[in-house]
Amino acid sequence: MNRKPVVRVCVSPALYELYKQAEGITVVVDILRASSAICTALEHGISEIIPVASIHEAKTFMGEDETIIAAERGGEVVDGFKYGNSPLSYINNKEVKGKTLVLTTTNGTQAIDAAKNDGDLVIGAFSNLNVLAEWLVKENQDVMILCAGWKNRLNLEDALFAGALVNELLAAGFSYDIDSDAAIMSQVLYNEAKPNMIKFLENSSHRNRLKNLHLEEDVEYCLQLNTCKVVPKLVGSVLKNVAKVTAH
Ligand code: MLT
């Protein structure tokens, strides 16, 4: 491209129509916890992930060989499923090695579903921040960060991740979207939160929802930077790791 690539931030799927791009790369983020779980599962041995929007669709994979099916709604594992959306459940777990993961979640897989037909789609989380930023810089295309939020409401943790990724891309020569201040807003938030993100999120909506479900450990894990070396990219309807270097 002859001009500098642009980085945009869409803070809610409800605004997606305003930001969607026919070309370029969409980064779907749902820090608590879908995008963190996707990166972690691929890092720790799941071979590929099929994100699906509905529980009904997830159920159609039941009985398939070498497949794990995971379903989360409202932060909890859906009745009848063994796995939900906890990234920790995919770490040091022999049962998941080499398997295909079919995943449906409250917001994250809905955001993937909304953007899946518009240009390339990859998954971002604090866990793959650096490797993703390096990959995006090499691709040299416009980037739109789509925050999954909570039921179309903005949430802080996705905006913080957007700010962290905007920092990285601007440092590498990307420019702001001249039509929106969402990228600048995300940066301001992240730079303020960076010294202690867990404290910054003390009163935040989904952190407290997960706290009430005794999932504080998940929250702490999801806020750690660069624990994974994967770039999950949607190829057809399947998320595959396209990062050259992996931990395996
Ligand atoms: C979602 O997709 O809404 C989330 O990842 C919910 C969660 O896992 O807590």
Best residue for ligand 1 mutational test, from 12, 78, 85 (most atoms within 8 Å of Cβ) = 85
Write down the pTM of the prediction.
0.95
- What's the pLDDT at 2? 86
Q: Which residues line ligand 1 (CB under 6 A)?
A: 30, 32-34, 72, 75, 85, 105-108, 210
Contact 193, 22 (CB under 8 A): no
- What's the pLDDT at 178? 87
- Distance from the CA of 74 to the center of ligand 1, in angstroms? 7
Length of the chain measured in residues: 248
d(CA 4, CA 18): 21
Average pLDDT per 10 consecutive residues for the chain, totaling 248 residues = 94 95 94 97 97 97 95 95 95 96 96 95 98 98 97 96 98 94 97 97 91 93 97 98 69
- What's the pLDDT at 234? 98
Which residue has a Cα nearest atom 6 of ligand 1? 75
- What's the pLDDT at 22? 84
d(CA 237, CA 239): 7
- Distance from the CA of 65 to the center of ligand 1, in angstroms? 26
3-state secondary structure of 47: coil
Residues 6+ apart with CB under 8 A from 70: 37, 58, 77, 81, 82, 83, 84, 85, 101, 102, 103, 104
- What's the pLDDT at 245? 54
